[in-house]
Structure formats: C-alpha cells, structure tokens
Amino acid sequence: MRPFQWFAFPCCVAVLLTLGCGGDSVDNSATGTGAAAGGSASGSPDSSGSGGGDATQTKGVIGFSALTLKNPFFKVIADSMKAEAERHGYEVLVNDAERDVATQSKHIENYITQGVTAIVINPADRVAIGPAIKKANDAGIPVFTNDLQCVAEDVKIAGHIGTDNLQGGRLAGDAMIEAIGQTGGKVLILHFAQANSCVLRVQGFKEVIGKHNGTAKDNAIELVAELDGGGLRDEGFKAASDALQEHPDLAGVFAINDPSALGARKALEQAGIEDQVTIIGFDGQLEGKQAIKDGKIYADPIQFPKKMGEVSVRNILRYLDGDEFEQVELIPTELYRKSDGEKDPELK
C-alpha cells in the first residue's frame, strides 16, 4: 500500500459541537505513560474511570481530549473509541477539556510528554487549538479529530470523521418550515459559535429559512436572535429565558444540540408557553429522542457518535500500517420525528 501522507486542512474548512448535559466528573490531567507506535506502553487507567488492560499487552496508547464529558454525545464517542481500541490491543486515555482550549492544549502537551501513539481531539476552539496541535506535529505524533474540525492554518490533521453539519442544518431548516411554515413567526437560534460544527449547522439552517422567506408573503420566518446556548442544558435555559423577555411571542427555537434544546424547553415550560413554540434540536441523544417521542421537541437531525469513535480508531490503525483511508469523512444526518420515536425500541 502507498504510505499515508500528512495533509493540512485549509483555513476555510467546514461545525461545532453538536455539542449536552450532566456527566461524570473527570480529572483534567492526562495520566499514564504511552509508547510510540508499535511498541509496548504502560499506562494508568484513563481519567474517565476504566483501565486499559495489562500494560505488557498494550500495543500503544491513544490520547483523547474530549470537548466536554458533561455532554453524553462525547461520552459515547469516548466509550466507543475505548471499546474499538481494546479490540486491537490499544489503550485510550480519556480527558475532559471542559470546553476550554487552554485545558485541551495542556492535555496535548501531556500526551506528547507521555509519547502516545496518536492523539484524538474534539477541538475546544477551531482556530486557537492550532499551536498545541503544531507541537504534536513537531513531535511526530499524528493528530486526528472527530465531530469537530480544526481550521487553524499550518497544522497537520491526519484524519477527521464527523457529521455533515451543513446538511444537518438544512434538515433542521426543513423541519422548522414543516412545523411553522404555514404561519411563520419569530425564531430564536441557540448557537455555540466556538465549534465549527455548530457554525455549519446554523449556516445550513439559515440557507433553508432564507429560501422559504424568498417566496413567503404573510408567513415569513423571522430569525430574531442568535444567542450562545453553550451546548449545555443550563446555558440553553438561561439564553432562552433571556430571549423570552424581549420576544414573548416566539414561534420557534433552533438549538444546535439536544442539551441546549432541552434547556430551552424548560424555559418555555417555566414561562407557560411550551405549546406555543416549536423546538428543533440536533444530535439524537437518547434523552433528546425521548423528548421528541413525548412531543417536547419537534424533530432532530440525528448524528452517529458511536461510528465516529470506532472509525477514529480504525483510521489510526490504518495510518500506523501505512494504509490509505478517507481523510475527511462526513456522515449525513437523518431527520428523527415523533413517528420515529414511537417505534424506537430504545425508548420508554
């Protein structure tokens, strides 16, 4: 097979977080010692609480700095990475960046010091994480991203697996038009602009709403505010509550992920107008799907985090073997409605 070549993402590469809610408490310092690719490695249990097996049998260590383990979405990615790596004799150290680029940069520096086989991150900031990645590049350690892309200049990303967030944002726009297109009304966007994935989601959403408004007469959908919902339930609740002070006549909310959508739902319930406002989320987390089935959220473009974690590990192994693989793979979303929830065996 032709040896794999490094590549650099251009500055304009395409979104953030689908970024959620309560999770495990995680130590932010990467622990353990890893060996370079192909060698043996000794590592302490990762910071998410599970060990990597007998050190003498470990082929190598993969360092994973998750955007936030308070969001169940990233916990699914971490768990699937650990399971897939274990199948191939590797260990994964998991650390929680807590959405802080400085914390994530320290994780990367620690991984370099430990001599890990590879590094995987969900960038806490799509540009500002660049210098830390450059240090890993200089140390000869391949860096992979999943879910969120890095768009910093002059860095080398060995591979990316994520969601086609632009397509997902367009589906979210379609869902909003499906729900309120006949009447129109005011819509709030709960954003998380630090994440390139969220930027693309909002871009796709606005494209579809703009086309609708181009032909609308008395049923235009007015985007009245874009507020930072943090990708978390509490912050989504606060942002939606603030928006309702100025726009009590909201007709819709588009939230870039399920946790912020659920936070918005709580704000609407507290204001007593939950039946007035249509919520479109994003992700397809179990709690989000349950809310769709229960009629609290109208629909979600759903993602596939388990696949992201598994493919990340497989691509690392292909890289180490010098095999070719798809350097940037974007998984299309699927729109999940109440009818899907009613036949979903995972739900109550």
In this predicted model, what pLDDT tens digit does every residue of 140-192 receive, in sequence order? 999 999 999 999 999 999 999 999 999 999 999 999 999 999 999 999 999 99
Give the pLDDT score at 308: 97
Residue 226 has pLDDT above 80, yes or no: yes
Residue 47 lies in a domain: no
Tell me the C-alpha distance between 237 and 234, whole Å. Answer: 5
What CATH code is carried by the domain that includes residue 241?
3.40.50.2300
Question: Predicted confidence band at 54 (pLDDT cuts at 50, 70, 90)?
Answer: very low
* Residue given tokens 């959220």 in the structure block: 297
Residue 133 lies in a domain: no
Residue 275 lies in a domain: yes
Count up the domains in the chain and report the number.
1
Please write the tens of the pLDDT for every residue from 29-39: 333 333 333 33
Choose between 72 and 290: higher pLDDT: 290
Residue 272 lies in a domain: yes
Residue 189 lies in a domain: yes
As a whole number, the mean pLDDT across the chain is 87
Mean pLDDT along residues 327-334: 96
Give the pLDDT score at 6: 40
Q: What percent of the chain has pLDDT over 90?
A: 80
Residue 248 lies in a domain: yes
Tell me the C-alpha distance between 43 and 53, whole Å. Answer: 9
Model confidence, pTM? 0.77
Positive or negative, the CA dihedral 171, 174, 179, 185 is positive
Residue 142 lies in a domain: no
What residues make up the domain containing 260? 165-303+337-341
Residue 239 lies in a domain: yes
**Residues near 225 by beta carbon (within 8 Å), at least 6 away in sequence:** 188, 189, 243, 246, 247
